Amino acid sequence: MVVDMGKRILLLGAPGAGKGTQSKRLAETYDIDHVTTGDALRANKDMETEYGTPRSFMEKGELVPDAVVNEIVEAALEDADGYVLDGYPRNLSQAEYLSEIADLDAVLSLEVAESELVERLTGRRVCSECGTNFHVKFNQPEEAGVCDECGGELIQRDDDTEETVRERLSVFEENTEPVIEHYRDEGVLVEIDGEQTPDEVFDDIVDSLDDA
Ligand code: ADP
Ligand code: ADP
Ligand code: ZN
């Protein structure tokens, strides 16, 4: 008997590239888990670790220490039959760790220009109940401030202010661009044009997964 394993997908891209938006759709379409370090850390912001709380790093737009994040990811992947991993790895040492604990079926990168990223992040609004993403211009809810999915209140993340966004983008360039380069050098990276509509981006992702 052939056991039908869930797909194991890595979705890379800058802050604001659309990883959360696309991961949610992928998880529903392929019936796999959405593993996202950002959401996991936000749910445990005040957890005491030997390095301090996640909040103390996230507020400044800095990376939370690898040891904290690696542990979260390992536990989540162990439990999953198929997943889309979003927000990890963010530096080469995390990428090295991931290669020891996971076998990936696909590595995708959403490509979006920096000027567009700033506008997407500063206009992002997130449901305080279910985490669904909206945007004040590009992806408006039916009723301002209210989640279409669950009726929850839409809020702006603390780190989606212009100043912290700039810091996150520079952390991305310095730490995470080399991760994308690494997968490109390995010949496994599929680049997706992330500046299309969410539906078009999703179609391109699905096409690339079906080819894989
Ligand atoms: P975005 O989706 O806008 O890129 P995330 O929700 O993924 O933002 O991440 C928010 C913050 O959480 C990051 O700025 C960082 O402080 C922390 N974080 C998330 N994932 C990681 C990771 N893999 N390594 C270190 N820090 C992380
Ligand atoms: P990431 O998880 O990579 O940080 P998100 O999925 O949260 O990115 O998207 C960032 C913001 O941009 C959100 O407000 C989202 O609604 C919006 N967005 C996502 N995809 C697109 C797109 N293709 N075009 C325009 N805006 C988008
Ligand atoms: Zn909601």
120 in a known ligand binding site: no
Any ligand 2 atom below 6 A from CB of 17? yes
Q: What is the pLDDT of residues 11-54, one digit of tens each?
A: 999 999 999 999 999 999 999 999 999 999 999 999 999 999 99
Which listed ligand is nearest to 165 at the C-alpha?
Answer: 1
Residues 206 and 5: their CA atoms lie apart, in Å, by 17
Task: Name the residue ranges covered by the structural domains of the chain.
Answer: 8-32+81-113+170-211
pLDDT value for 211: 76
In CATH, the number for domain 8-32+81-113+170-211 is 3.40.50.300
- pLDDT, tens digit, for every residue of 94-118? 999 999 999 999 999 999 999 999 9
Assess whether the C-beta atom of 138 lies below 6 angstroms from ligand 2: yes
Q: Look up the pTM and report it.
A: 0.95
- Binning pLDDT at 50, 70 and 90, where does residue 212 land? low
- The residues assigned a catalytic role are 19, 90, 124, 157, 168
Position 2 pLDDT exceeds 60: no
For residue 20, the CA-to-ligand 2 centroid distance in Å is 7
